[in-house]
Structure 1
Amino acid sequence: MRVAQLTPDRLPGATHPWFLGVRTPRVLAHRGFVPAGSGGIVENTFAAIAAAHAEGADYVESDCHLTRDGVVVLFHDSDLSRVAGDPRKLSEIRHDDLAQLMADRGGLVTAADALEGFPELRFNFDVKAEDAALPLGRIVARHADRVLLTSFSDGRRVTALEAARAAGGSPATSAGQSTIARLLGAVRLRSLPLVRRTLAGIDALQVPERVGAVRIVTPRLITAAHACGVEVHVWTVNDPDRMDALFGLGVDGVVTDRTDVALLAAQRRRV
């Protein structure tokens, strides 16, 4: 039996509130949105999230680290070199000092701040640091309907998920690298039972279009994911022609720095 002959077990994205009420294709604002001419504003800040919200985004993708004093903050890098010209690691600096440093760059945002301050937004949190997984899971539990948890590390992802569930919430989740690697093998083998087993408990695949010369996003992968009720989101897509091509291929969403462009491309596809 070929993957393309699969009958869907459920519609993609139909079983968790994170997906409901928003038509596909989805636009995930990558670390918020920093429009041209923003004058010193940087990614993953209050200003960037507010700009994504104002532009009309329903989803914000962000990253989580832990400060020295145990606060989960939205930050991609493990240190401040790129964003603030400071060599210190996030794990070496206290929240209040980090907030002061980021004050004129758009404003530091904690995971709790984001969820409380933007109640209409849905968040895609990527667990970047091992020690952030447990506290992040506990934080998102009360807001689990609006949260998808992910990580390159399936271990970090599962730790955060289990912490959220123990605290009474059940966020959506997307696969980590090891799960994706197993899935690619199952798709190449056209092993339908293995595809289903690999994607058990997974709500989305968030993947690059390609890695080097190897194409990840293919019609066969999309068909296999959709047959198991799993959405496919591609990162990081900023070119409008690539957005149109991917939407035409059947992907369910893109993670993008160009929220404005992607929302227009998605709207054209929805009409």
Structure 2
Amino acid sequence: MTHPWFAPTARPRILAHRGLATATDAEGRAIVENSLLAVAAAHALGVDYVESDCHVTADGVVVLFHDDDLHRVTGDPRRVAEVTAAELERIMEPRGGLLTLAHALDAFPDLRFNLDVKAEAAALPVGRLVAPHVQRVLVTSFSDPRRRRALAAALEATGGSRPATSAGTGTLVRLLVALAVRADRWAARLLRDVDALQIPERHRRVRVLSTRLLTVAHAAGVEVHVWTINAPDDMRRLAALGVDGIVTDRADLAVEVFRRA
């Protein structure tokens, strides 16, 4: 059966990558990615999905933050794991506001979240926090073991329900090998425990997205979402190819493209 996370039927799905960080706040300050205002801006567009990332602060709070340190986003050289949630809240206040995972799930009850578990320490708390919301959460990670730990924590907390999930790097690499050698049964086995493949078109010199990957994934009931696509012409091209989801920094442009289509 299709996981409830996929209930909206419009295609392609628009996944607002780290919210929408192209606007400014009421005082003209830039809104940074993964902030409260970035997610609120994406929500205001009417998108169904927000893609975000999970780290854990020094006092054990799961926060939406991509990098393992604060330097690129805030100029502070410390790691997320070295600051408390209260400290990070003060740092993020002029940048759109800190958003914890618990607050995100409560404040945006009609959004579906695509959560990338970035830190080992985040796996168990993410799984436990999303347990009451499994119908509208997809959990992923580049690390398949980390992803599976988060899913197991959610399953334990719910007594049998889990979030949707997409493949980690290890699963994806094996899938590409299986496709290359035409090992369709192996490919089908690899896809049994995932609901989606979330991939770039290419990784360095390796083409990841192909019509064969789309065919095999769809035959297994698995969706294919491509990241990070910001040009409208690329959005249209991938939708025509049969891609199920577009992960984009420019959800505003994607909404224009596909509402006019």
Q: Residue 209 of structure 1 is aligned with which of 201, 210, 213?
A: 201
Alignment of 1:145-160 (within 5 A): 145-160=135-150
Alignment of 1:65-80 (within 5 A): 65-80=55-70
Residue equivalent to 2:238? 246
Residue equivalent to 2:36? 46
Q: TM-score normalised to the size of structure 1? A: 0.92
Question: What amino acid sits opposite 2:46 in the alignment?
Answer: G
Question: What amino acid sits opposite 1:95 in the alignment?
Answer: A
Q: What are the Cα deviations for residues 52-80 of structure 1, in whole angstroms up to 9, with x where unaligned? A: 00011110000000000000000000011
Residue equivalent to 1:18? 5
Are 2:120 and 1:130 aligned?
Answer: yes
Are 2:223 and 1:223 aligned?
Answer: no
Question: What amino acid sits opposite 1:229 in the alignment?
Answer: G
Following superposition, the deviation at residue 179 of structure 1 comes to 0.2
Could you tell me whether the CA contact under 8 Å between 1:27 and 1:266 is conserved in 2?
no
**Residues in 1 aligned to 2:257 and 2:212: alpha-carbon distance in whole angstroms:** 23
Residue equivalent to 2:224? 232
**Residues in 2 aligned to 1:237 and 1:201: alpha-carbon distance in whole angstroms:** 26
List gaps (5 residues or longer) in structure 1. Answer: 1-13
**Residues in 2 aligned to 1:244 and 1:70: alpha-carbon distance in whole angstroms:** 42
Are 2:76 and 1:98 aligned?
Answer: no
Following superposition, the deviation at residue 267 of structure 1 comes to 2.9
Residue equivalent to 1:256? 248
- Secondary structure at the counterpart of residue 32 of structure 1: coil
The two structures, once aligned, show a CA RMSD in angstroms of 1.1
Q: TM-score normalised to the size of structure 2? A: 0.96
Are 2:25 and 1:33 aligned?
Answer: no
Could you tell me whether the CA contact under 8 Å between 2:12 and 2:243 is conserved in 1?
yes
Larger RCO (CA under 8 A, 6+ residues apart): 1
Following superposition, the deviation at residue 265 of structure 1 comes to 2.4
Runs of 4+ in 1 over 3 A off after TM superposition: none
Following superposition, the deviation at residue 37 of structure 1 comes to 4.8
Could you tell me whether the CA contact under 8 Å between 2:22 and 2:31 is conserved in 1?
no
Could you tell me whether the CA contact under 8 Å between 2:15 and 2:48 is conserved in 1?
yes
Could you tell me whether the CA contact under 8 Å between 2:16 and 2:42 is conserved in 1?
yes
Following superposition, the deviation at residue 268 of structure 1 comes to 4.2
- Secondary structure at the counterpart of residue 21 of structure 1: coil
Residue equivalent to 2:164? 172
**Residues in 2 aligned to 1:201 and 1:24: alpha-carbon distance in whole angstroms:** 23
Moved more, 18-27 or 61-70: 18-27
**Residues in 2 aligned to 1:92 and 1:148: alpha-carbon distance in whole angstroms:** 27
List gaps (5 residues or longer) in structure 2. Answer: none
Pair 42,17 (structure 1): closer, same or farther in 2 beyond 3 Å? same
Residue equivalent to 2:186? 194
Following superposition, the deviation at residue 264 of structure 1 comes to 2.3
Question: What amino acid sits opposite 1:108 in the alignment?
Answer: L
**Identical aligned pairs, as a percentage?**
59
**Residues in 2 aligned to 1:61 and 1:118: alpha-carbon distance in whole angstroms:** 13
